[in-house]
Amino acid sequence: MPILHASYKDIKKSAKKTLRNQSVKSRLKTETTKFLGLLSSKKMDEAKKQLTFLVSQLDKAKSKGIIHKNTASRKKSRLMKKLNVTSA
């Protein structure tokens, strides 16, 4: 157990950050699943709207340091590729 007051504070801060990070990552996974579902049901207009929303959420998570910038870029690239292949 921590002895210093600052150590207790660090534990609280770490717990808050972990909770926030988990909720953002969970939301990203949910939105990705929703997008892939729209693609599989061939609803292209809705899928494009969902993709723009998903890209903005990935960029926000990247800017807040929740996910790495290369991870965000890779996910965006793969999702856009799936949309282009499905719509072609």
Q: Give the model confidence (pLDDT) of 2-54 as tens digits.
A: 678 888 899 999 999 999 999 999 999 999 999 999 999 999 999 999 999 99
Q: Judging by beta carbons within 10 Å of its beta carbon (0-12, 13-18, 19+), is residue 82 exposed, middle or buried?
A: middle
Question: The pTM is what?
Answer: 0.85
CATH of domain 5-87: 1.20.58.110
Q: How far apart (Å, rounded) are the C-alpha atoms in residues 13 and 30?
A: 26
What pLDDT is stored for residue 29 in this prediction? 98
